[in-house]
Structure 1
Amino acid sequence: MRRLRYRFDNLVIRGGWAVLGLLVLVALAVSVAGATALVVLVPDATDLPLALWSGLTRTLSPVTATPEEGPPPLPRGTPVVALTGIVIFSALVGLVKTGLDRRLAGLRKGRSPVVERGHTVVLGWSEQVFLILSELAAAGEGRGGTTCVAILADMDRTAMEEAIGGRAALRNLRVVCRTGNPTDPADVAIVSPERARAVIVLGSEDTDSDARTIKSLLALDAAGVRPRVQLVASVRDPDNLVAARLAGGSGALIVDVDEISARVVVQSCLNPGLSVVYGDLLGSGGSEICFRQPCDLVGENFGDALPALENGSLIGLERRGRIMLNPSGETRIDANDRLVLIMGDGGAKQFRTSAEPDSHEIIASGEHTPTAHRVLILGWNGRGAAIVTEFDRRMPPGSQVRVVAHDSRMASRMDALAGPLANVTLAHESGDITRYGTLEALGVGTYDHVLILADDRLGAHVADSRTLLTLLHVREMTRSNGWRHSLVTEMARECDRRLAEVTEVDDLIVPTRVTGLLMIQIAEHPRRHDVFTDLFAAGGQEVSLRPAGDYVRLSVPVDYATVVAAARAYGEIAIGYRGDRTARGDGGVVLNPPKSRKVVFEADDAVIVLSGRASARKDDLRTDVEHLETLNHEIT
């Protein structure tokens, strides 16, 4: 009996199908026994097939004891058959309920597979999720239809959905959340990455972020994703780039978070308002980088084609799969080339402008005079060394950088950091930058640029609170004393950026926002990767804001086509301008204006240009200036 009970227990724990099979066997046994007894004891009542069917229906029915018409067969009055039918029916109801409960529990846990195709997969969870969803929703509106995003994270599915519903405007975006480990190949397979259009691997905010990113890339490889699906990931430590690229394969695009963030911070510090430009280029709904056929520009020189398009800013060429940003003005545009443009509407067609550059309004000398800068860095974090190195790369000799922070990491790295610097004199001291007295003693007004860094040793909330306190002190000093210097602040969280905007800071940099936007751009448009690589790479092209008075006459209306021609005299490409800096929302930044637009520049206005990091090419500049003189002769 004990062995029989043991076998019964093993059968039951196998699941619902085993229990269902046992119930069917019991029902058949009772039906056969009842039918046999009926045929033997009452031979004239019915035949065997009918007796078997009658016994089976009575056994499976909960109303087995109900009287029926016809001859009184024996099972009608047998309580065993009636009780067996009730037990089987109750067991079936319980079995169905248990199966439904288990299925619903599994759905609530977010473990069911995602059956989609052409969707975007996001592995991991961080503050970047909300930015990614918002940008994908905006990009989906441009394409039309509904876009699906599948998120796999080691979080409760309900908690993820509630957080997304409260933070992100989804519009036509359909989000599917699943619970699982992004580094486990079995869990990664839940979101069907092999059928996705792109997979974005998010890093975390702790020290193990890069290790988990690399494991997720290996899990995707085990799931058979590459090379069919575009993989995009980010790492914080440049030393982990090689390992991440090896794990992701040759088709994976890896973003170096700290290096890119450092360059954006430094460029924004030296070019106030540049963060708005990058936000427009990287975000959806504004100006974006497009690739177009050359059409009627075939055969023209690149320099001549710059002011030719009314609704697009030509910034480079794609030739045989290679991106050339800001090539020589004498580069001839071939029929097989593709134009690299900045356009406000990705679906618009470029057309020629009727505006002609007026060389009488151009005062470009062809050379910018570099001046030394004094920079004050308040605070320190893991990107501090890269930021100081970037300042040294971009500022002329004689510049100074002073770092003030209460951070032991700063003091330990300064001696090793100062050695390789060629253009910058580096000084540092310890101090509590959240105290008004400390900041007052620093002489903030004597510096050209002030940069406030978020302390990554603290939590994001505490770090931003301390940053805001420092920012308010500096802003109050600046306002009360009438100082004129650029003020750039780095924030740890996107939600705190809106709080800092009320302080009228020149630029607010959220590193996770910059890299998040960049990852979305690459995932949605892989061909843009080489363009942004050149823009953010050391020694490549860079976006700068230069005084408008270096290009055209001030206080007189000029066509924007004239500004483009003037920028070419420096070997640069004008992509916009910054006018009224009191404008809310965009800081007066205008990207890709029509070439025929009349603009009146004042002393504080600036032209936004794309230029090379190398020294100006004298031959190209001489050619451009001569071309302007020839153009003026033809016009007159």
Structure 2
Amino acid sequence: MIAGASNKFRFYLERFILRGAHYRLLFIAAMVGLVSIVGGYLALQATAEFGSYSESMWWAFLRLTDPGYLGDDKGTGLRVLSTIITVLGYVIFMGSLIAIMTQWLNNTIRVLELGTTPIVQKGHVVILGWTNRTPIIVRELVRSEERLKRFLVKQGARKLRIVILAEEVNVQLRQDLQETLAEEWDERQIILRSGNPLKNEDLLRVAFLNAAAIIFPGMNFLEGGADAGDMRTVKALLSMQAFAEKGHNLPFLVTEIFDARKVVVARSAYSGRIEVIPSDSTISLLLAQNIRHQSLSHVFNELLTYGDGNELRIRHLSQFAGMTFEETFAAFPKAVPLGVLRPSNRGLDPHLNPPVGFVIREGDFLVLLARSHNDTAPSKRYDRVAQKRGHFVQFKHEKKHRRLLILGWSGMIPALVHELASYQDEKFEVDILSRVPEEEREDKLQKYSTAGQRVKLRHLIGDYGAPSDLEEVSPDMYDNILILGSDYFLTKEEVDARTILGLMLVRELLKGVTYKPDILVELVDPGNHSLFSRVSEEVIVSPMILSHMLAHIAMRPELNTVFQELFSSGGAEIYFRPMHEYGLAGKTMSFADIQDSVSARGEIALGVKVTAREKALGAEIELNPDKTASWSLTKDDEVVVLTTYV
């Protein structure tokens, strides 16, 4: 019975204390009062110095709270009692009070660090979710000063403010941002808030309705894979849509959907202006183009990365209305016109590498390749002489049949196979080495699309991390080897560790081989990109590319139309063409001369790739070089062109 009463007392005491700092202070106050009452009673009984019980309680309270009174007492009994009460004061009053206040302050600071306070901002950029794309998106936004100034002016904001909604804000997130931004880190510019984009109260915490733009990157390391990530995205869009049904205007949003077949679902879930990037099909197309054209990844990296050379830029220049596209070239000495975006009932229609005689209309946007916004300003004086532009001459593929070995299984393989099958006059033999059962692979391929006759698939069961399994497939017998980051692991570190292991094994097996296949590696951790700065293999860091696209489109939504045109099958594509196809091999030519020769074939020259320089400097490709720069060209040199795939 006594034990039961004791447990009951301890239980209720525990519940009382855990209610918070205020209740703990009340408990300490009660203990101080109790000691004062008991100590006052004992003092009254031990000496005749006190005239009343209240006087002795006050004496006990003073000893309990202030040890300075200890020397004023007389008599052994009173001094002993005073000493005991003073020691209890150290423990109960001072010690407990300091502990409670310290804990309260720590908890308060922790709550503030978590970022649960709603922000009061307008015209800011909201990033929903913390993924391997988030730090790169932030860096891209911070670095894009020119575009941001014009973007913020349109939104009525003076300074860039980036608000990130993460599941849980902690020191590690801040550290990751600081390492990514380095000297560009500014505590006042970036605000972190804890929350889930699926919850309305968390969306309000970042003032999403007042945002200039919302960026919603995909989360590909969820249990359930890409399907789970897409479901999460659509649910969040529906959560935001609920505010539109209450009469609120939804801000512009750019998001990522893994499965291109679900893009229409994402668009229908959000009534505000929205741009959707189908990541799997986008990366699959980049992989397919890199398989067909070695070194193309360097071009894509430059076009999509701010501050690393040239970018795709869009200008509305009404003075060119009524002129033909070829007449615009002379107006841009530091930029390369690529085409036009034309408004229509569907939005914007891309006309990249337009045909000869294409006339620019009022309201059209020019698409240009340039290093800065200032470089896209047309010259005040220029000769209005049309660049000689011929009709398009269909590209003759040097290699119409390829053998491709894919190491590992990823959810984007069905999209990659679909992309390879779209090239009408090319055939591919694709062998896939993976531990994933053949039935599971075939099920995903069939749900996406059939490969058709142009892609012959063969499933190989094995572990490319095992030297014996890899050696059995004879990697040297293929034209191309693609090492994919598997989405069967739950962390980017595990994925890239396995990818790098596979690459090292392939290198060992290809030692001493005369003809070595072209190797393309996909990484999912941007931090590992530096490991491949001086290697012969090509590398695509898919989160980095998608992050750049998300950031660019958030600042300039029209760019999504350009990306969709460039990164989709058919239409305008970027190629490497041998110089001898234009009759330039063996000649010394300036870039302006190369542009004229390429234009005569109905294409647009973007830059050059000179073999001798590549060997010396490591595959350096010059996009949009100075028009007067010249080279002594050989048959091995190539020109980077924008052409039309038919």
**TM-score (norm. length: structure 2):** 0.73
Which digits, 9 at most, give the CA deviation of each residue in 1:486-530, with x for residues without a partner?
21111222122222444421x211222221111111111112121
Which digits, 9 at most, give the CA deviation of each residue in 1:563-606, with x for residues without a partner?
22222343322212222464799831211223332233333322
**Structure 1: any 5+ residue segments left out of the alignment?**
1-8, 20-61, 63-89, 615-636
Which digits, 9 at most, give the CA deviation of each residue in 1:417-437, with x for residues without a partner?
895413233333223323344
Matched, 1:119 2:146: no
Which digits, 9 at most, give the CA deviation of each residue in 1:78-97, with x for residues without a partner?
xxxxxxxxxxxx9xx99999
Q: Percent identity?
A: 25
Count of aligned positions? 535
Per the alignment, residue 442 of structure 1 pairs with: 473
Matched, 1:466 2:498: yes
Partner of residue 330 from structure 1, selected from 357, 363, 367:
357
Output aligned runs, 1:122-521, within 5 Å: 122-140=127-145, 143=148, 147-169=160-182, 171=184, 173=186, 174-204=189-219, 205-206=221-222, 207=224, 208-223=228-243, 227-285=249-307, 286-294=309-317, 297-306=320-329, 309-320=332-343, 322=348, 323-348=350-375, 349-351=377-379, 366-370=393-397, 371-379=399-407, 380-394=409-423, 396-409=425-438, 412-413=441-442, 416=446, 420-459=451-490, 460-478=492-510, 480-505=512-537, 507-521=538-552
Separation in 1 of the partners of 2:531 and 2:362?
50
- Between stretches 161-170 and 605-614, larger displacement belongs to 161-170
Shift of 1:298: 4.8
Which digits, 9 at most, give the CA deviation of each residue in 1:139-198, with x for residues without a partner?
137656852211111113434223322343361652111111221110111111122111
Change over 3 Å in CA distance of 1:126–1:282 after alignment to 2: same
Shift of 1:239: 3.8
CA contact (8 A) 2:392 2:602 kept: no
- Between stretches 179-188 and 133-142, larger displacement belongs to 133-142
- Between stretches 212-221 and 263-272, larger displacement belongs to 212-221
Q: Which amino acid aligns with 1:318?
A: L
Per the alignment, residue 534 of structure 1 pairs with: 565
Separation in 1 of the partners of 2:638 and 2:197?
46
Change over 3 Å in CA distance of 1:477–1:15 after alignment to 2: closer
Separation in 2 of the partners of 1:94 and 1:429?
64
Separation in 2 of the partners of 1:584 and 1:196?
48
Shift of 1:466: 2.2
Which digits, 9 at most, give the CA deviation of each residue in 1:53-98, with x for residues without a partner?
xxxxxxxxx9xxxxxxxxxxxxxxxxxxxxxxxxxxx9xx999999
Shift of 1:410: 6.8
Per the alignment, residue 556 of structure 1 pairs with: 587
CA contact (8 A) 2:169 2:194 kept: yes
SS in 1 for 2:339: strand
Shift of 1:99: 8.9
Separation in 2 of the partners of 1:336 and 1:168?
38
**Structure 2: any 5+ residue segments left out of the alignment?**
1-14, 26-64, 66-93, 150-157
Partner of residue 587 from structure 1, selected from 616, 619, 625:
619
SS in 1 for 2:336: strand
Separation in 2 of the partners of 1:254 and 1:337?
23
CA contact (8 A) 2:405 2:433 kept: yes
Per the alignment, residue 604 of structure 2 pairs with: 573
**TM-score (norm. length: structure 1):** 0.74
CA RMSD in angstroms comes to 3.9
Separation in 2 of the partners of 1:457 and 1:409?
15
Q: Which amino acid aligns with 1:375?
A: R
Per the alignment, residue 109 of structure 1 pairs with: 114
Separation in 2 of the partners of 1:168 and 1:111?
24
Q: Which amino acid aligns with 2:211?
A: A
CA contact (8 A) 1:363 1:550 kept: no
Change over 3 Å in CA distance of 1:612–1:376 after alignment to 2: same
Separation in 2 of the partners of 1:400 and 1:568?
34
